[in-house]
Structure 1
Amino acid sequence: MVLKTKVNLLVAVSILLAMSGFGNAQEKETKVESTEEVEIVEVDAEQEPEFIPFNAVNEVPYSEECENYKTNEERKKCFVEFIRNHTIRKFNTDLPRELGLSAGKKRIFVGFKIDVTGNVVDVKSRAEHEDLEKEIERVINLLPKFIPGKHKGKVVTVAYSLPVIFTIEEYEVKGDKQKN
């Protein structure tokens, strides 16, 4: 039996997005939200699943930065924060403008697994433009090796999904100045 539930974690983050191209000093604040959709799977005792969803695993995978946290809840929050910060730092924020995307909210969905050795594997994405998919996959593939997750005392592969939502605001470039 498969039960589905939707968990919304609205995480508002401010990042600075250079609006006049190539990192000029004039920057625009952009909001990034993270929403998580999780599939909870019930399995027979004899059946071994190939992976466990992040929100269903007994002990989540975590980075070295999170090893001082002792509870699963603390490590879960640390993991989510680590992934979010990594994505914000590494994502090429000039790319949406370079692609000529129209103003408005844009979404990129990316899913990946952390295998039993702690490596990021099976990175898959979906976005309105192929270059956005490639960029988020590049960013996720830059993640370090993790301490693997455990379920019922056994090291398991853990699936994680990350929707990235950003807003492109209309702007007009006049010389070196921009107007909103």
Structure 2
Amino acid sequence: MTPKKNPQKDLNKKSGTFFVIGLLLVLAMVYTALEWRTLDPINTIDVALNKVDDSIDEDAPIFELEATPPPKPQVLPVEIEIVEDEILIDETEVITSEVDYETEIVDPDDFEVIEEPVEVKVNWISIEEVPIFPGCENAEDKRTCFNEMMQKHIRKNFRYPELAQEMNIQGRVNTQFMINNDGSIGTIQKRGPHDVLEKEAVRILSKLPKMTPGKQRGTPVKVSFAIPITFKLQ
């Protein structure tokens, strides 16, 4: 036979309430334990034995210290160096400006005036009589003959620099040289892609023969001539 319990005395109904009350009590005890403070006891120290007698009056000793002044810097005597006067002074001769009536007056016509010739430079286009390349003396068109002989001279003396071939350097060198009034080759100007090609162009032009100088109004003059030299690898 199964025993019957009184529903009013059943403790399981209030188990949740009892659990909450117990949990609150435990939390309160933990909080109180954490917040509990213990103060150190206050010790009273009697300083009566350390009291100083007011009748004793002692003055603090005063010490006077004398500062030693710094030593004075030594003053060295000034040495006088005697230098011999070896500098030669150019004496300027002062010429009097007074008129000397005994001086002979020279006639200006007695002086010989030497006129220095003015150097005339003419370019190839405006020259009246072009320079004559050796071999073109009997040519009817001396300009055309000059150009042909120049091309022949360049082909004959042309040599491609080995360094330029190794470095694959090529291009055109613009040159300009002066044919002096005595037919010789003067200053050679050059401008190209590399110094090696420029030197070769100067070498070729420096081998030009002496020519018959160009003339302007019947007078030999300097004539400038420009020609490009092309260096091209095959």
Query: TM tier, shorter chain?
Result: 0.5 to 0.7
**Contact 2:165 2:233 (8 Å CA) reproduced:** no
Superposition TM-score, scaled by structure 1 size: 0.59
- Ranked by relative contact order (alpha carbons within 8 Å, sequence separation 6 or more), the top structure is 1
Identity over the aligned pairs, expressed in percent? 28
How far has the Cα of 1:50 moved from its partner? 3.5
Higher helix share: 2
Alignment correspondent of 2:147 = 80
8 A Cα contact 1:109 1:125, kept in partner: yes
Number of equivalences = 117
Counterpart of 1:129 in structure 2 is: 194
Alignment of 1:44-123 (within 5 A): 50-70=120-140, 74-95=141-162, 97-102=164-169, 106-123=171-188
Cα deviation code 1:39-77 (max 9, x no counterpart): xxxxxxxxx67311111100100122000124xxx1100
Superposition RMSD in Å: 1.9
Aligned to 1:156: 221
Matched residue type, 1:154: T
Give the secondary-structure state (helix, strand or coil) at the position aligned to 1:56.
coil
Q: Which residue of 2 aligns with 1:34?
A: none
Structure 2 runs not aligned, ≥5 long: 1-117
TM-score (norm 2): 0.46
Partner of 2:70: none
Rate the CA distance shift 1:95–1:162 in 2: closer, same or farther, 3 A: farther
Deviation at 1:132, TM superposition (A): 0.8
Q: Which runs of 5+ in 1 are unaligned?
A: 1-47, 170-180
Distance in 2 separating the partners of 1:95 and 1:53: 35
Give the structure with the larger strand fraction.
Answer: 1
